[in-house]
Amino acid sequence: MQIRHFRIHSFAISDPPLRSSFGLHAPLALRTVIELESADGVIGIAETHGGSGPAETLESLRPQVIGQDASQLMASLTALRSQSKYRTALSALEVAALDLVGKTVGLPVHALLGGKVREEVPFSAYAFYKHAWGESKYGEALTPEGLVTQVQELIADYGFGSVKLKAGVLEPDQEIETIRLLRQTLGPTVPLRIDPNCVWSVATSVRVGKALQAELSDGGYLEDPAEGMADMAAVRAGLLAEGIDMPLASNMAVVSFETLAEAHKTDACQVVLGDHHYWGGLRAVAALGRVCETLGVGLSMHSNSHLGVSLMAMAHVAAATPQLSYACDTHYPWQSADEEIVAEGRIPIVGGNVRVSDAPGLGVTLNYDTLARLKERYEASPIRARDDVAEMHQHVDPHWQRRRW
């Protein structure tokens, strides 16, 4: 399993005009796929964040990757683990190495992680306020009613059993109304979660939590309402003082084992959104499950605009992590079917679930024609990093600034 070739592919995929408190998604989202090829010609793959920064960090590790045995690669890179700038690159290398090992020995990645405790991994509908332009089949959603229509369409297409609202876009009262309308429309049993990406003050966060006490209970949560550990802890304390034991979830204050330890001291986070792309890989997320169990904290999963290699890697680790207590996030429905780089085709989401593959490795391989097309798009575009503010300035409001409510 000696690694002979290390290929790094930067590419761009279409992305609809989705809104968040950070601004507006650009028409192109950047991704990277890596390939590790062994002396026997077996290829392990992984998908990670895109643009020049991630590609350069991966490139800088080439001398430490070439010539290593794939089964020992992560051990050989141990010294870099403590440096946060390498965490995303190490995560991608770990996934690709596990895929290579799995494809060589004939075992699926979930088996290499200790075995699957579930065949199907639940994912949540990820609803966004959205503009009309672009080629997405989902139309404009800039009102509570528009958002509910979008969610109904997502559920009709994928059967999702829970819903996340990307908030921090409209006035908080309109977002409260959106969640209430979702509850009325979807009935009492669909868990709802709301994530304004830290754009609310402590007082607003507590006010929204109080207003949505009923709607966000029973499997829902309030995700990253306020910025930083101290404010998250203050929101928690404020809600408890009102007699509201609503879980706060986080992928912004809690981004590592170190920050989880800090959050635990102040009760700032009751649900961690793990993400193998930046927590250190699939085994780090599996370990996170153990830590969450020990701390009495729930586990969910964060996503970003992604394709099937990333989605299937999430499915493998989620299948092998007994502590997963919430449906995972995924942006997958926002990506175009004709841009899927997985040769086996688009990963089905049925009944809100992804069935984890039992084929060797991740169970997916690359469609090199599609990858070549998406790489050409990357080369032809000047975009090398995500900039949602610039998109807002260009397409919505030249004076837009991130609002703090």
Ligand X SMILES: O=C([O-])C(=O)C[C@H](O)[C@@H](O)C(=O)[O-]
Instruction: Note the residues at the interface with ligand X (CB under 6 A).
Output: 18, 20, 166, 195, 197, 251, 302-304, 329, 331
Cβ-based nearer residue to ligand X, 166 or 183: 166
With CB cut-offs between 5 and 8 Å by kind, which of ligand X, Mg ion, none does residue 304 bind?
A: ligand X
Which one, 166 or 283, has the nearer CB to ligand X?
166
Six token digits for residue 291: 């830590």
Site for Mg ion in 234-253 (CB under 5 A): 251
Tell me how far apart the alpha carbons of residues 301 and 330 are, in angstroms, rounded to a whole number: 8
C-beta closer to ligand X: residue 17 or 361: 17
Q: Among the candidate windows 147-155, 191-199, 225-233, 263-271, which touches Mg ion by CB under 5 A?
A: 191-199
**Contact by Cβ (8 Å): 400, 354:** no
CB of 110: closest distance to ligand X in angstroms?
24
Which member of 103, 116, 277, 302 is catalytic? 302
Residue 136 corresponds to which tokens in the numbers above?
């997405």
**Based on CB atoms, which residue is closest to Mg ion, 183 or 193?**
193
Q: Is 329 exposed, middle or buried (0-12, 13-18, 19+ CB in 10 A)?
A: buried
166 binds, among ligand X, Mg ion, none (CB under 5 to 8 A by kind): ligand X
H-helix or E-strand spanning residue 276? helix 276-279
Q: What is the DSSP letter of 242?
A: T
Q: Give me the sign of the Cα torsion angle 231, 232, 233, 239.
A: positive
Residue 272 contacts residue 260 (beta carbons within 8 Å): yes
CB 226 within 8 A of CB 205: yes
What is the closest distance, in whole angstroms, from the C-beta atom of residue 250 to Mg ion in the complex?
7
- Closer Cβ to Mg ion, 223 or 231, answer by number: 223
Instruction: Map tokens 């964040």 to a residue.
Output: 49
Q: Least distance from C-beta 68 to ligand X, angstroms? A: 32
Residue 164 designated active-site: no
Quote the tokens at residue 308.
Answer: 């099937």
Measured from the CB of residue 331, what is the shortest distance to ligand X in angstroms?
A: 6
Binding site partner of 193, from ligand X, Mg ion, none, Cβ cut-off 5-8 A by kind: none
- Determine the residue type at 76: S
Residue 195 touching Mg ion (CB under 5 A): yes
**Closest CB to ligand X: residue number:** 20
Distance, in Å, from the CA atom of 335 to the CA atom of 138, rounded to the nearest integer, reads: 11
- If the CB atoms of residues 89 and 249 are measured against Mg ion, the closer one turns out to be 249
Among Mg ion, ligand X, none, the one that 205 touches (CB under a kind-dependent 5 to 8 A) is: none
Residues in contact with 263: Cβ distance below 8 Å, sequence separation at least 6, in sequence order: 229, 232, 233, 250, 253, 254, 269
**Cβ at position 249, least distance to Mg ion in Å:** 7
Amino acid at 1: M
The reply on whether position 205 binds Mg ion by CB under 5 A is no
Q: Give me the least distance between CB of 19 and Mg ion, in Å please.
A: 14
Of ligand X, Mg ion, none, which one sits near residue 131, judging by CB under 5 to 8 A according to partner kind?
none
Q: Which of ligand X, Mg ion, none does 15 bind, CB closer than 5 to 8 A by kind?
A: none
Contact assessment for residue 364 and residue 308, using Cβ atoms and an 8 Å cutoff = yes
Is residue 131 within 8 Å of 394, Cβ to Cβ?
no
Least distance CB 247 / ligand X (angstroms): 15
Distance CA 142, CA 146 (A): 6
If binding means CB under 5 A, how many residues of this protein chain bind Mg ion? 3
Q: Is 166 a catalytic residue?
A: yes
Q: Are 249 and 255 in contact (CB under 8 A)?
A: no
Count CB-CB contacts under 10 A for residue 146: 17
Of residues 131, 166, 277, 331, which has the active-site annotation?
Answer: 166
**In this complex, which beta carbon is closest to ligand X, that of residue 38 or of residue 162?**
162
Question: What does 47 bind: ligand X, Mg ion, none (CB cut-off 5 to 8 Å by kind)?
Answer: none
Q: Which residues are known to be catalytic?
A: 166, 302
Q: Which residues sit at the interface with Mg ion, rule CB under 5 A?
A: 195, 223, 251
